[in-house]
A and B are shown apart, each in its own frame.
Chain A
């Protein structure tokens, strides 16, 4: 940051990743300017959000330090909008469900095959899969025959959900393979780790061969001829649940 300040950057917005907050940045900048303090920290009712707006002067004065001096006089910007602290898997699921339900401004990427169902155009969804709205299926992901996806479930990029598995109020993180015939409920699966939110427990599925981390090299660029485009799938209404 000191380099940027020396190069003439007047204000730096510092966001410590850890929460999703729909902050009105122009309003924050306006508030900061009116406050005439060198630092403005953003708070919500639970405390600081790890978001600060810093003036060039304070950065140059504190350039020996990795982070600005906490004792600097600062303004407090009270944020009353949508916030989710991503400190737990449960909060992550809450964010996903809020996005699906329109309670926040996140819009899933991908092609909306019907209202509430977002499927990336490079994803493969078998014609026999049952997809209930709302759901998200990310790039290069394969949904095999007989899979059922329901309850605000999301499957991120480069995943494979094998034959007949059901996802119910579940999120599957990128590059994850899930074995056939499983019933994944109220969980977040990341590679071999399953966190069961209803039971409050994490389980390693790798030793049991029930899930796996798959290659992280994106398959998006190399579209397999076997992968059907979403637009080539049968009418989704037939599968509406």
Chain B
């Protein structure tokens, strides 16, 4: 039986908030480390124009995901964000989709908060 790669959806933290950025990356790393071929979908639908700090963060996510043979998709990017991702060449290492639904390709999401709790339980066990 083929194991379905886990999918999780996250939103980017405030680019100016270093603490949130650290938490975000720590969560992503845990998710990747505990999954087989993980797939992270970053929902950019609330971002008007992505900042360079957020592009860097996305690239760090890609780095983590690739170590786990996974991938990072972005969904719902605004046209401005699309231009910035192309310009910075981040688009070449990201899968881009118009919406989270299309990014998931019909596969069930793994709710990140639930996953974190189950992860904590697994570790405790």
Q: How large is the interface on B (under 10, 10 to 19, 20 to 34, 35 or more residues)?
A: 10 to 19
* B87 & A183 in contact (Cβ 8 Å cutoff): yes
- Within B72-92, which residues are at the interface with A (CB < 8 Å)? 79-80, 82-84, 86-89
Q: How long is the Cα–Cα vector from A205 to B49 in the complex, in angstroms?
A: 10
Chain B residues, Cβ within 8 Å of A183: 86-89
Contacts of B98 in A (CB 8 A): none
Do B87 and A184 touch (CB < 8 A)?
yes
Q: What are the residues of chain A within 8 A of B86 when measuring CB–CB?
A: 183, 185, 196
Instruction: Render A197-213 as a binary contact track against B, CB cut-off 8 A, 1 for contact.
Output: 00101011101111000
Contacts of B84 in A (CB 8 A): 203, 208, 210
* Bound CA–CA A154/B87 (angstroms): 18
Query: What per-residue 1/0 map shows which CB atoms of A211-238 lie under 8 Å from chain B?
Result: 0000000000000000000000000000
- CA–CA, A166 to B20, complex, Å? 33
A165 — nearest CB in chain B belongs to which residue?
B87
A199 B87 Cβ-Cβ under 8 A: no
Partner of A181, one of B79, B80, B83, B89: B89
The number of chain A residues with a CB under 8 A from chain B is: 16
The interface residues of chain A lying within 8 Å CB-to-CB of B87 are: 182-184, 194, 205, 210
B83 touches A182 (CB 8 A): no
Q: Is the CB of A182 within 8 A of B89?
A: yes
- Could you say which residues of chain B place their CB within 8 Å of the CB of A208? 49, 51-52, 84
Knowing that A199-B82, A203-B80, A208-B52 are A-B contacts, what are 18 other residue pairs whose CB atoms are under 8 Å apart, sorted by A's residue number? A181-B88, A182-B87, A182-B88, A183-B86, A183-B87, A183-B89, A184-B87, A194-B87, A199-B83, A201-B80, A203-B49, A203-B83, A204-B49, A207-B49, A208-B49, A209-B52, A210-B52, A210-B87
